[in-house]
Amino acid sequence: MDTKLKADIAESAVVTELLKRGFRVLKPVGDRLPYDLALDLGERLCRLQVKAAWFDRKKELYAVDARRTKTNRRVMRRAKYDDGDFDFAILYLEDRQAYYVMPSNVFNDYGSTISLIEGDKRQRKPRSADYRERWDLVSIWAAQPATAEATPVKFGEPFAGNPEPSPAID
């Protein structure tokens, strides 16, 4: 199974789980945005990046790449996500039907790989364990007031920073 198919399966599983939990799910057209899904939370949208985990047999743990991957015909490039790219990362373990719900700042703090330990073999659990099935974090986030103020942009004009307010139309 190729990575694109695994990503599609993970995204479908996350959509299903969110719908079961009563969320209103939005799916952007195409894959040019730094997030895969959005949630309509009434006054706000919550942007979600979905990642499919794989099992590393050697290390006996699940892993997720914490970087974005851009490919063309010849080159695969990986880069860290920017802090404002999404609000939560949802990490999906297909064979366990498990989800890790991580705020973007936690996800972005990892270097390149996030380890997810499902067994109880270790004395100390990794910090990723704190985010297993933490769907409540999305609701807590939604209840907080928005910190950014929306700036209207005229249709057909590119947004370039903080534009001067438009004069009032009588």
Domain contains 13: yes
Domain contains 167: no
Q: Provide the residue range defining the domain that includes 119.
A: 3-143
Domain contains 111: yes
Domain contains 88: yes
Within 10 angstroms of residue 12's Cβ, the number of other Cβ atoms is 12
Considering the entire predicted model, what is its pTM?
0.81
CB 151, CB 162: distance < 8 Å: yes
Domain contains 37: yes
Domain contains 154: no
What does the block give as tokens for 19?
A: 């719908």
Residues contacting residue 135 through CB under 8 Å, at least 6 positions apart: 21, 99, 101
Residues contacting residue 81 through CB under 8 Å, at least 6 positions apart: 34, 49, 66, 67, 68, 104, 107, 108
Identify the CATH number of the domain in which residue 106 sits.
3.40.1350.10
Domain count, the chain: 1
What does the block give as tokens for 163?
A: 């534009």
CB 110, CB 102: distance < 8 Å: no
Domain contains 122: yes
Domain contains 157: no
From first to last of the 170 residues of the chain, give the pLDDT tens digit.
787 899 999 999 999 999 999 999 999 998 888 999 999 998 899 999 999 999 999 988 999 999 987 777 777 788 899 989 999 999 999 999 999 999 999 999 998 899 998 877 666 778 899 999 999 999 899 888 876 555 555 565 665 554 444 444 44
